[in-house]
């Protein structure tokens, strides 16, 4: 693959599906003699100045655009990647943007922000599809459809590199030898299944190191959740039989496994071995619990991923349901970031390549909508999996029932999401009314400190908006000032707010728009640019500047916060403080606001409950961060402070002397005798402890 780029010229915005020019517009044998683009003068004059500048940038890059397949990136003035797209012919796709007319508002906004372009050629369009998905997940361009929740799915791993295989939950890369079963939609689904499998097949769940050091069976053996291979309670041959049964069950042969266990139970009962029969009965019951909790189970579809998308009020929800070994292994809902002008099919099309960028596909992918790149996606997934992958849009039969089931789930999930969003907006409105704030609250920041007598002091900021708690925007602040008196909460609050708003000022200055330039000045390199794209509420479009900051504390913290904002010249941000009630009783909190006497809210006021939730979340986040720092300090050794003493030398010293205290008392000669410690290092350690003493 080869890459090309040119220096930034102006600013621009993204493409939509189906924006390719006519096939005859550029012949394959045309090299540098590109025709003049058919842009009408009257339409150029009517177009916004930013679009004219972006069009000029795109035309300047057009001659360097490869004729073959590949990926292109549209880049803004600050270096931000605005859009990543793929094309069978990059030059033809870029020419469609350079026309300067007939674009949707979304495309016009993208063109108006484009300052430069980068092209990457690929051998095939399939490679371009995979590369595009990789770039989108890495760069998160503002004009692309973004998957957003890209956490890896959990699997069940049955190891194959040990005499007594381990059955465990697994996430991440598959670098350990064994059989992987999944994906499961949630950790809860995996834990529930593992629970039942341990009762059904008695396979170990301990780590290899724990297994090797056992001298007697652990508690899991006592409660009949493990067969005890670590201490020879079961032979390796019999344990291998249990492993084979578990593998068969997870591979789809569940009926055979249950029939086999039922036969053994009957034989045990006939032989009057009632205890063994009871154990087999419990194992059958555990398997029934797994199958009974699966919900919809297909009869003829062994493995498939089902995708269904619904749209309501400009919001999109994609429901993904996983079927493996004729069983439903759970579902997950996604709310991709997408422009309102896109159709459901276009959003689903853009979502699928990102979804499978780091996940193994099943042999069958079922969709609720016909997508433009269905054949290309099937080809790309087949190449990735090394076997044929079918991507289908079923119209009837069992497959259609599976899609309809996913669609119903997506519709219900979307309804709940919109309902929660509306309820959160009402709470924000109630809070604004209670505090006498006239404008709409979009972002609320809550601050709290946590420490023990000034040690391991941290400040915490939690953020809430119409979408609830915005955890991607949470921040922690390690208190750095050496001039603070230990336990000075007011000083800590001043440091936290000072750092927060000083950083915000720098970010706003770096992204501040410049004045609009005259339409005929197409050589200019800066512009104010169009308004932000009209997308559904999401963390990426969430404002960085708060409308309200809420301090967990009394009048002292409130005045400290006001002083910081006044010193930094921060305006347009409301400040409030919440002090705990007498005896710390919830419901009797006192509020401090500028220009008002301290007041309380009615005990059953929804705004009061909302503020309590915000305050409690800030407290939880702050104390959790403080505990993590404190725990780290507990395990810290004085040896960590010695430059030149790494893990290996630290291990050698502790192995020789036992504790850091014993090392501090050792003579220079004793330190030099330690294996792996040379004279220079011994002198370094000796000097450190003796100078310290």
- Phi and psi dihedrals of 476, rounded to 5? -120, 150
- Mean pLDDT (whole number) for 575-583: 80
pLDDT grade, residue 5 (50/70/90)?
Answer: very low
User: Does domain 444-631 sit in CATH 3.20.20.210?
Assistant: no
Residue 8: the pLDDT is: 40
Q: Is 485 in contact with 532 (CB distance < 8 Å)?
A: no
Query: What is the per-residue pLDDT across 157-182, written as a single tens digit (0 to 9) for each?
Result: 888 888 889 888 888 777 888 888 87
Per-residue pLDDT band for 137 (boundaries 50, 70, 90) equals confident
| Residue 12 confidence (pLDDT) above 50 | no
Residue 110 in contact with residue 41, Cβ under 8 Å?
no
- Per-residue confidence band for 319, with pLDDT thresholds at 50, 70 and 90: very high
> In three state form, how does the secondary structure of 273-312 look?
CHHHHHHHHHHHHHHHHHHHCCCCCCCCCCCEEEEEEEEE
CA distance 641 to 127: 49
User: Is it the case that residue 41 has pLDDT exceeding 60?
Assistant: no
Which tens digit of pLDDT belongs to each residue from 219-238?
888 888 888 899 888 898 88
Alpha carbon distance, N-terminus to C-terminus of the chain: 62
Average pLDDT over residues 458-482: 87
Mean pLDDT of 29-41: 39
CATH of domain 3-139: 3.40.1440.10
Model pTM?
0.65
Does CATH number 3.40.140.10 belong to domain 304-414? no
Residue 34's pLDDT band (cuts 50, 70, 90): very low
Output phi, psi for 5, to 5 deg: -155, 160
The pairing of strands 444-452 and 455-465 is: antiparallel
Kindly state the greatest CA–CA separation across the chain: 98
What confidence category does residue 96 fall into, taking pLDDT thresholds of 50, 70 and 90?
confident
Question: Is it true that domain 638-692 has CATH number 1.10.150.20?
Answer: yes
Band (pLDDT 50/70/90 cuts) for residue 552 is confident
| Tokens (6 digits) for 355 | 């979804």
pLDDT at 520 (0 to 100)? 39
Q: With CA atoms as reference, report the closest residue to 146 among 597, 536, 544.
A: 536
Contacts of 272 (CB under 8 A, 6+ apart): none
Confidence of residue 4 (pLDDT cuts 50, 70, 90): very low
The neighbouring-strand residues paired with 363 are none
DSSP 223-279: TTS---GGGTSS-HHHHHHHHHHHHHHHTT-HHHHHHHHHHHHHHHHHTT-HHHHHH
Domains 304-414 and 444-631 share a fold: yes
Of residues 333 and 519, the one with the higher pLDDT is: 333
| Main-chain dihedrals φ then ψ at residue 111, nearest 5 degrees | -60, -40
pLDDT score for 462: 92
Domain ranges of the chain: 3-139, 155-292, 304-414, 444-631, 638-692
Indicate the helix (H) or strand (E) that contains 546: none
Residue among 571, 431, 452 nearest 501 (CA): 571
pLDDT digits (tens, 9 = 90+) for 268-304: 787 787 777 877 777 777 666 555 445 556 777 888 9
Measured from the Cβ of residue 650, the count of other Cβ atoms closer than 10 Å reads 17
Radius of gyration over every alpha carbon of the chain, rounded to an integer in angstroms: 32
Q: How far, in Å, CA of 600 to CA of 589, rounded?
A: 6
Q: For 88, phi and psi rounded to 5 degrees?
A: -70, -35
Residue 461: predicted pLDDT: 92
**Residues ≥6 apart with Cβ < 8 Å to 197:** 156, 167, 203, 246, 249, 250, 286, 290
List the single range of 341-355, 535-549, 625-639 with lowest mean pLDDT: 535-549
> Angle, to 10 degrees, between the axis of helix 344-355 and the axis of helix 374-385?
10
Task: Indicate whether 387 pLDDT > 70.
Answer: yes
């Amino acid at each position: 693959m080869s890459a090309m780029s040119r220096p930034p010229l102006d600013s621009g915005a993204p493409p939509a599906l189906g924006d390719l020019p006519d096939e005859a517009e550029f012949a394959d044998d045309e090299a540098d003699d590109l025709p003049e683009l058919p842009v009408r003068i009257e339409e150029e004059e009517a177009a916004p100045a930013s679009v004219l500048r972006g069009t000029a940038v795109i035309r300047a890059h057009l001659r360097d655009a490869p004729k073959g397949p590949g990926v292109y990136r549209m880049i803004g003035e600050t270096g931000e990647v605005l859009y990543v797209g793929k094309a069978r012919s990059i030059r033809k796709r870029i020419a469609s943007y350079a026309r300067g007319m007939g674009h949707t508002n979304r495309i016009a906004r993208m063109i108006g922000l484009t300052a430069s372009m980068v092209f990457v050629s690929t051998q095939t369009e399939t490679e371009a599809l995979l590369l595009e998905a990789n770039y989108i997940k890495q760069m998160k361009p503002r004009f692309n459809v973004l998957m957003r929740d890209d956490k890896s799915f959990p699997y069940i791993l049955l190891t194959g590199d040990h005499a007594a295989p381990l059955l465990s939950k697994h996430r991440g890369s598959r670098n350990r030898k064994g059989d992987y079963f999944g994906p499961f939609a949630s950790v809860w689904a995996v834990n529930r299944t593992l629970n039942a499998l341990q009762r059904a097949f008695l396979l170990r769940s301990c780590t290899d190191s724990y297994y090797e050091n056992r001298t007697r069976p652990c508690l899991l053996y006592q409660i009949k959740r493990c067969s005890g291979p670590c201490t020879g309670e079961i032979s390796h041959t019999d344990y291998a039989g249990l492993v084979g049964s578990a593998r068969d069950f997870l591979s789809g042969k569940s009926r055979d496994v249950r029939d086999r266990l039922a036969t053994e139970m009957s034989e045990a009962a006939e032989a009057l071995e009632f205890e063994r029969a009871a154990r087999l009965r419990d194992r059958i019951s555990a398997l029934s619990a797994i199958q009974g909790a699966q919900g919809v189970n297909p009869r003829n579809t062994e493995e498939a991923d089902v995708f269904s998308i619904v749209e309501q009020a400009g919001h999109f929800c994609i429901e993904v349901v996983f079927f493996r070994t004729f069983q439903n292994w759970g579902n997950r809902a996604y709310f991709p970031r997408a422009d309102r002008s896109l159709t459901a099919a276009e959003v689903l099309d853009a979502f699928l390549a990102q979804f499978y960028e780091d996940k193994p596909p099943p042999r069958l992918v079922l969709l609720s909508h016909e997508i433009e790149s269905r054949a290309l996606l099937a080809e790309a997934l087949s190449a990735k999996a090394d076997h044929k992958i079918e991507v289908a849009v079923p119209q009837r039969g069992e497959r259609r029932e599976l899609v309809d089931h996913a669609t119903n789930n997506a519709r219900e999930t979307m309804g709940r999401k919109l309902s929660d969003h509306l309820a959160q907006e009402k709470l924000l409105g109630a809070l604004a009314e209670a505090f006498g704030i006239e404008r709409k609250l979009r972002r609320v920041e809550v601050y709290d400190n946590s420490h023990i007598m000034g040690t391991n002091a941290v400040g915490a900021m939690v953020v809430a908006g119409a979408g609830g708690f915005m955890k991607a925007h949470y921040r922690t602040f390690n208190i750095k000032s050496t001039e603070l008196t230990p336990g000075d909460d007011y000083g800590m609050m001043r440091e936290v707010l000072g750092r927060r708003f000083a950083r915000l000022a720098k970010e706003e200055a770096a992204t501040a728009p410049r004045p609009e330039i005259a339409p005929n000045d197409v050589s200019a390199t800066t512009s104010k640019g169009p308004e932000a794209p009209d997308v559904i509420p999401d963390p990426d479009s969430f404002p960085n500047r708060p409308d309200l900051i809420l301090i967990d504390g009394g009048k002292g913290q409130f005045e400290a916060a006001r002083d910081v904002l006044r010193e930094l010249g921060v305006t347009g941000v409301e400040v409030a403080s919440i002090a705990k009630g007498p005896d710390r009783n919830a419901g009797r909190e006192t509020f401090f606001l500028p220009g008002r006497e301290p007041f309380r809210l009615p005990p059953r006021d929804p705004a009061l409950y909302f503020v309590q939730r915000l305050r409690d979340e800030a407290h939880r986040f702050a104390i959790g961060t403080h505990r993590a720092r404190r725990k780290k300090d507990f395990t810290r050794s004085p040896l960590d402070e010695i430059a030149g003493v790494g893990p290996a030398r630290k291990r050698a010293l502790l192995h020789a002397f036992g504790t850091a205290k014993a090392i501090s008392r050792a003579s220079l000669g004793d330190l030099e005798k330690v294996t792996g410690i040379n004279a220079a290092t011994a002198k370094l350690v000796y000097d450190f402890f003796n100078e310290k003493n």
